[in-house]
Amino acid sequence: MTDPNADPAADFIEATRSSYDAIAPAYSAEHPDGLGEGPVETGLLTAFAELVRTASGEAPVADVGSGPGYVTARLNALGLPAFGIDISPHMVALAREAHPQLRFQVGSMTSLDVPDATLGGVIALYSTIHIPDAQLPGVLAEFHRVLRPGGYVLLAFQASDGEHIHMTERYGQDISLDYYFRTPAEIATFLTEADLSLYAQTRVEPQGQQKWGRAFALAQKPSLD
């Protein structure tokens, strides 16, 4: 019997947390810096950092779904006071170990422990892919809530039309992890509906053995003027 008072987000949040806790050591070992030297990703991070500094000065930036912490570290190297948030306590522990000078905290993007209108930027690289369509508007509303007026959001995601994958094993560990792939047009609609104005989009086609292309969406919370 279904509990009418159950939180519809609770099951997927707990499944994502426990799955990443299980694979955290192997994932972090394989992806100590998952961006590598990719020129598109590097260029977008640099552009994001410049836009955030121009719009919000020294306001902090949240790396949501920070995993091993390499994006948080890169943002700090670009001069942004960035901190990481991840659903997995094991991932957070490994990020703190790898980057002891930076701040990482356990949290869910569905309910950020961040005051209203305090961040200059939010970055979520390949982390909103675990959010079901029904929950994604709430996540983007959270991003809007924590951003200062004029602040920026940068999303990265695998680009595919409505593909849903459920994985039960990874790195030899039993998991229960869902992946929701969307088109750039779909993400643009979600952002617009969250009152985040699309600033730029980029798509990189599959390279080598990659099955899916990668897409990036940069959006801005409207300023007060």
Residue 9 has pLDDT above 60, yes or no: no
**Pairwise CA distance, residues 178 & 215, whole Å:** 19
Query: Assign residue 171 a region: left if phi > 0, alpha if psi is -120 to 50, beta otherwise?
Result: left
**Pairwise CA distance, residues 21 & 5, whole Å:** 27
Q: What is the pLDDT of residue 2?
A: 33
Q: Which residue has 């991840």 as its token pair?
A: 86
The H-or-E segment that residue 189 falls in is helix 184-193
As a whole number, mean pLDDT of residues 36-44 equals 82
As a whole number, mean pLDDT of residues 189-212 equals 92
Under DSSP, the state recorded for 60 is -
**H-only helix segments in 102-176:** 136-146
Query: Assign residue 79 a region: left if phi > 0, alpha if psi is -120 to 50, beta otherwise?
Result: left
Structure confidence by residue, pLDDT tens digits, 56-87: 999 999 999 999 999 999 999 999 999 999 99
Residue 211 has pLDDT above 90, yes or no: no
What value, to the nearest 5°, has the Cα angle with vertex 195 and ends 189 and 201? 50
Residue 225 has pLDDT above 80, yes or no: no
Token couple for 155: 């999303």
Residue 35 has pLDDT above 80, yes or no: no
**Pairwise CA distance, residues 204 & 225, whole Å:** 35
**Pairwise CA distance, residues 68 & 98, whole Å:** 8
Global confidence as pTM: 0.93
Token couple for 208: 């080598």
| CA-wise closest residue to 74 among 63, 85, 65 | 63
Token couple for 178: 């869902």
43 Cβ contact list (under 8 Å, min separation 6): none
Structure confidence by residue, pLDDT tens digits, 22-33: 999 999 998 878
Token couple for 128: 């909103």
